[in-house]
A = this chain, B = another copy of it.
Amino acid sequence: MQNLRLTLKSRPEGKLGSEHFDRVEEDMGPLADGKARVRVVYVSLDPAMRGWVSPDTKSYIPPVQLGETMRSLGVGIVEESKSDGYKVGDWVSGTPGWTKYVDVAPGEISVVPQMDRIEHYMGVLGLPGVTAYQGLVIEGQPKEGETLCVTGAAGSVGSLAGQIGKALGLRVIGIAGTQEKCDWLTKELGFDAALNYKTDDLSKGLAEFAPDGINLHFENVGGAPFKAAFRNMAAHGRMIFCGFISAYNGDIDPDPLDMTTIIRRRLMLKGFTMPDHYASYPMLFSELGKLMMQGKLKYRLHVEEGLENAPVVFNKLFDGSNTGKLVVKVSDL
């Protein structure tokens, strides 16, 4: 059985590209006892992966080593099993990496319930949903009636954070980068308002929507949208930092913040990452599943074909040209 995987060849300075990865074509050989062979169906492309290929910077997770298969979340199906933990046909979700096949031992990847679509595990029940829920609800402690602002609001995490906010009784404004995305937020997802950071005056728009200030802010992108929110926070407002994508390729915004705002308005700024809340996973899945079944959480995928294209397709996350949760289809279910 022929496999293809992409291993890290060199650490990028700026954008990720094909030149940073080696294509490894190899025969899988026979399956070892105690293991199962997984055929990957989708791999997930997420902004955090840019940090995983950076040199070690005391980050929350060790960097991918040179020569290692690129780390990536994904879903797949068990093709062959010599393990009691897996049976042929099982759906699995975890971190297979950029590979067509992977042999796993129990504990290395999770069997998940089969639903109408395996794609749910890339969306509401995948990294985007879990991240949105833990950031908004566990870190942000929202209270009914509060005003929530979400940047990167049409992104996979932002769109779910906003919808969870609506489900919990918050007033929600989203900031996105095209009129089409803004329309999707207000007309399809039920956001109360949306601003286009390329054409709207953000400070004015936020001040009009939230004359008493923003109580809770969910940050995904950094740059001008972040600053507009920062300047419009209410006293005792909380800003939850999920992502700061504008800085991931090494660009640091040259326009400094007035940090005294943090004191004058007694703000809390709090960063979080998904692995800090592994213990909450069962609760997160259950809560997200409930909201999804009630039709309150919609998402859309942006599917690209072909594992070998992953390094280049990845950059769509940074220019905003993806139109949903970005995934690469590796094989048919």
Interface residues of A (CB under 8 A from B): 51, 57-60, 213, 222, 226, 235, 241-244, 247-248, 252-273, 276
Contacts and interface: CB of A to CB of B under 8 A. Distances in A.
B257 A257 contact: yes
A256 B258 contact: no
A272 B264 contact: no
Contacts of A243: 263
B266 A271 contact: yes
Given A58-B213, A58-B235, A60-B235, A264 B271 contact: yes
B267 A271 contact: yes
Contacts of A265: 58-60, 271
Considering residues A242, A259, A268, which has the most beta carbons from chain B within 10 angstroms of its beta carbon? A259
Contacts of A57: 264
B255 A256 contact: yes
Given A255-B256, A262-B241, A269 B272 contact: no
A269 B257 CA distance: 14
B272 A270 contact: no
Contact of A269 (B242, B268, B273): B268
A103 to B, nearest CB: 31
Contacts of A51: 260, 264
A267 to B, nearest CB: 5
A255 to B, nearest CB: 7
Contact of A263 (B235, B242, B255, B262): B242
Nearest to A254: B256
Nearest to A270: B268
Contact of A266 (B258, B261, B272): B272
A263 B268 contact: no
Contacts of A254: 256
A112 to B, nearest CB: 27
Contact of A247 (B226, B235, B259, B276): B259
A241 B263 CA distance: 6
A216 B243 CA distance: 23
